[in-house]
């Protein structure tokens, strides 16, 4: 297992390499709730990597990978049975579209948070994805510049340890 460390000040570290990252607008929290904008603290396994095959070459990764399509989404409605699970669109519950125009989900790591088992209102759609150019805060995800995200994935990362308090 190749574990990266995510510091709450926006540094991500793997085997001595450092990258800048954007975190949730609600900070980093040990207890996350749906809609709080926080990045959850703890060990988050990288479950798989999704990507836009029309925009990026298949990234080399240590976990499974699969292309996304226009009908791919993720349910973020805590009242629905599909909460915090991938879905096909159209879908009756509130959801995120994974096929985005802005490029933020061109490369998307699905992180193991609130998925084994899923608990209502504990947070959903926690991803590792492409950051906005200004590293604006996310809704709770961890985001890096596209080239940095690809480099991190190619370095063999399999999990992210998100620290609730900076330990140096």
Instruction: For residue 124, give the nearest of 109, 140, 108, 103 by alpha carbon.
Output: 140
**How far, in Å, CA of 46 to CA of 153, rounded?**
10
DSSP 63: S
Which two three-digit tokens encode residue 161? 């340890």
How long a stretch of residues is the chain? 168
CB atoms within 10 A of CB 31: 11
pLDDT score at 65:
96
Distance separating alpha carbons of residues 10 and 135, to the nearest angstrom: 9
Q: Which domains does the chain have, with CATH numbers?
A: 3-162 (2.40.440)
Model pLDDT for residues 79-123, shown as the tens digit of each residue: 999 999 999 999 999 999 999 999 999 999 999 999 999 999 999
In three-state secondary structure terms, 148 is: helix
Question: Three-state SS string across 72-109, please?
Answer: EEEECCCCCCCCCCEEECCCCCCEEECCCCCCCCCEEE
Q: What is the pLDDT of residues 67-79, one digit of tens each?
A: 999 999 999 999 9
Indicate the pTM of the whole model.
0.96
Cα–Cα distance between 157 and 4 in angstroms, integer?
A: 7
């Amino acid at each position: 297992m190749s574990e990266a460390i995510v510091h709450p000040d926006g540094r991500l570290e793997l085997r001595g390499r450092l990258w800048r990252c954007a975190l949730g607008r609600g900070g980093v929290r040990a207890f996350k709730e749906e809609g709080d904008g926080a990045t959850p603290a703890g060990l988050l396994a990288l479950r798989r990597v999704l990507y836009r095959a029309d925009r990026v070459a298949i990234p080399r990764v240590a976990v499974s990978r699969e292309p996304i399509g226009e009908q791919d989404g993720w349910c973020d409605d805590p009242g629905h049975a599909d909460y915090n699970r991938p879905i096909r669109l159209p879908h009756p519950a509130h959801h995120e579209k994974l096929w985005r125009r802005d490029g933020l989900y061109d490369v998307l790591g699905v992180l193991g948070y609130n998925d084994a088992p899923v608990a209502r209102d504990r947070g959903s759609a926690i991803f590792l994805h492409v950051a906005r150019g200004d590293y604006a805060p996310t809704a709770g995800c961890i985001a890096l510049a596209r080239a940095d995200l690809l480099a991190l994935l190619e370095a063999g990362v399999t999990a992210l340890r998100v620290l609730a308090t900076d330990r140096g």
